[in-house]
A and B are shown apart, each in its own frame.
Chain A
């Protein structure tokens, strides 16, 4: 893996920044890769499109931000539209099927899956949608080992929520597997 640029986006409060931190920390601390997490946000504390960016590389990373993402996750329609503009040709786009009604158009591999519904109904807490996202993202992109992802998640979540978060990772992996089994882009057009 030379260098992968990932952008996680949604609405402020959905935990995309936390997801970005977990992913980058996992790669850097547990796998010794170079990784940087950065973010940009508006003045609002909640709501509004928000994004976290992660760069993972085998070599030193200088410019810390994402220039053009290889992978974009979007949990809202606004984020999908706003942050897909510079997604690379042939890039991967992961969308939530509840919140993103219309996938942005481009030459991308699009995976649309029920991330938020799965978190709320299958795992039991909508709050862990960001961890479900990580499970799915990592299954599709193979960024870190599943073991690393689990360690990274557990090192950042409150005590007493370990099982919940482990289940969220597994649910995300299952979602991605099902999506891939349907031809790689289950619902993308």
Chain B
């Protein structure tokens, strides 16, 4: 049977994805260009037994999002640059306490209030390093409205499976544009729920990991009484000042993500088999890159697309295949050079030329700009 086709805005598709994944709690503070997510979920969540709370600011919104998840609800918040900066302290709390939730960052120009209504891709590094301390990070970068929906579902799945806050790192262009979406029916997309304890409540240890590095998580109020703290803690959740244990625990947290690279990291590779030039592009910029590559191919230029849907953890393993193989890598991004630093780190001097296309003028990087760069070396 033909799927229902809806014509959705990118932010609207995030809401559809969240509801599909079983999200029943949203806490946020509205900010352009993410506001539609709050607006739509304020109307939709109560109809599915969910709750919507507008908090006094983004700091409180992040705290409430974690609280909603600790109470057992799949929780979402959405924001943009300035709000993302405010969320950082509580996001760190979420990493240390291993609370699953999804944070949508619809990137705009910055820093500070910046260019509120225009697009940006300058929060790439913030998504990994924005809060202090060592911690794993997962961030996804959709390029189409369809992917806004599907990657939101995937963000929830990863967060639930590995007990980690996951960032959906999108931008104003994808967030605000409208495109046809094939609506998934129940069962079409995988939906993962967190592991919950089956032991007697008195034997429950909230941070005792199973073989996959992840501990079952009990809902607050379900009879499993346990302690949560932003201090490094023991398996029972109570604080410990033992540095050796803290180190071991943080390494375990890193490993629960890095050990599952193959399940978490998704990359779309197009025309890369014989490519001499690789274009590394994500989010809305990848749309222009794809078109430029098709045009260049029509002129006989051997160029391919490397489009990460998972930007964190960085797709090292996928990218390493092109070591000593491609002659050039072009990295177009709406910032002054962020993802390119990671590309250079991974390729370790095995590619003669790694070049950026950088633009922060509130306009998308066009197909022609990328095509011209591809042709430059010819």
| Contact surface of A with B, Cβ cutoff 8 Å | 21, 24-25, 28-29, 34-43, 62-65, 67
Question: Is B180's CB under 8 angstroms from A28's CB?
Answer: yes
Task: Report how far A130 CA is from B290 CA in the complex, Å.
Answer: 34
Question: Is A64's CB under 8 angstroms from B7's CB?
Answer: no
Q: Enumerate chain A residues within 8 angstroms of B173, measured Cβ to Cβ.
A: 38, 64-65
* A62/B291 contact (C-beta < 8 A), A29-B6, A29-B7, A67-B366 known: yes
How far, in Å, is A116 (CB) from chain B's closest CB?
A: 26
Inter-chain pairs besides A24-B7, A64-B287, 6 sampled, C-beta below 8 Å? A35-B7, A38-B173, A62-B287, A62-B367, A63-B291, A63-B367
Q: Does B117 contact A (CB under 8 A)?
A: yes
A-B CB pair tally, cutoff 8 Å: 55
Q: Enumerate chain A residues within 8 angstroms of B366, measured Cβ to Cβ.
A: 63, 67
List which B244-296 residues lie within 8 A (CB) of chain A: 284, 287-288, 290-291, 294
How far, in Å, is B136 (CB) from chain A's closest CB?
A: 32
Question: Is B287's CB under 8 angstroms from A63's CB?
Answer: yes
Q: Does B316 contact A (CB under 8 A)?
A: no
Task: Report how far A36 CA is from B294 CA in the complex, Å.
Answer: 19
Within 8 Å by CB of B176, from A29, A39, A63, A67, lies: A39
Which one of A34, A40, A43 has the greatest number of beta carbons of chain B within 10 Å?
A40
Question: Is A38's CB under 8 angstroms from B117's CB?
Answer: no
Question: Is B178's CB under 8 angstroms from A24's CB?
Answer: yes
Q: Does B231 contact A (CB under 8 A)?
A: no
How far, in Å, is A9 (CB) from chain B's closest CB?
A: 16
Task: Report how far A160 CA is from B173 CA in the complex, Å.
Answer: 34
Residue of A whose beta carbon sits closest to that of B177: A38
Question: Is A43's CB under 8 angstroms from B5's CB?
Answer: no
* A25/B177 contact (C-beta < 8 A), A40-B117, A41-B117, A63-B367 known: no
Q: Does B94 contact A (CB under 8 A)?
A: no
Within 8 Å by CB of A62, from B176, B178, B288, lies: B288
Q: Does B219 contact A (CB under 8 A)?
A: no
Residue of B whose beta carbon sits closest to that of A22: B7
How far, in Å, is A49 (CB) from chain B's closest CB?
A: 13
Residue of A whose beta carbon sits closest to that of B32: A43
Main DSSP-derived SS at the A contact region = mixed
| Contact surface of B with A, Cβ cutoff 8 Å | 5-7, 116-117, 173, 176-180, 284, 287-288, 290-291, 294, 364, 366-367
Task: Report how far A28 CA is from B179 CA in the complex, Å.
Answer: 8
How far, in Å, is A19 (CB) from chain B's closest CB?
A: 13
How far, in Å, is A174 (CB) from chain B's closest CB?
A: 28
Question: Is A29's CB under 8 angstroms from B5's CB?
Answer: yes
* A64/B5 contact (C-beta < 8 A), A28-B179, A39-B176 known: no
Task: Report how far A62 CA is from B173 CA in the complex, Å.
Answer: 12
Task: Report how far A35 CA is from B179 CA in the complex, Å.
Answer: 6
Question: Is B117's CB under 8 angstroms from A25's CB?
Answer: no
Residue of A whose beta carbon sits closest to that of B295: A62
Q: Enumerate chain B residues within 8 angstroms of A43, measured Cβ to Cβ.
A: 116-117
Q: Enumerate chain B residues within 8 angstroms of A64, measured Cβ to Cβ.
A: 173, 177, 179, 284, 287, 364
How far, in Å, is B313 (CB) from chain A's closest CB?
A: 27
Pull 12 A–B residue pairs with CB atoms less than 8 Å apart, ordered by A.
A24-B178, A25-B178, A28-B5, A28-B180, A29-B7, A37-B7, A62-B291, A62-B294, A62-B367, A63-B287, A63-B291, A63-B364
Q: Enumerate chain B residues within 8 angstroms of A63, measured Cβ to Cβ.
A: 287-288, 291, 364, 366-367
How far, in Å, is B326 (CB) from chain A's closest CB?
A: 22
Q: Enumerate chain A residues within 8 angstroms of B117, measured Cβ to Cβ.
A: 40-43
* A65/B367 contact (C-beta < 8 A), A28-B7, A29-B7 known: no
For the complex of A and B, the 9 pairs showing the least CB-CB separation, nearest first, are: A62-B291, A25-B7, A28-B180, A37-B178, A38-B177, A62-B287, A63-B367, A64-B177, A63-B288
Within 8 Å by CB of B177, from A28, A29, A36, A67, lies: A36
Task: Report how far A37 CA is from B5 CA in the complex, Å.
Answer: 16
How far, in Å, is A117 (CB) from chain B's closest CB?
A: 30
How far, in Å, is B280 (CB) from chain A's closest CB?
A: 17
Task: Report how far A42 CA is from B115 CA in the complex, Å.
Answer: 10
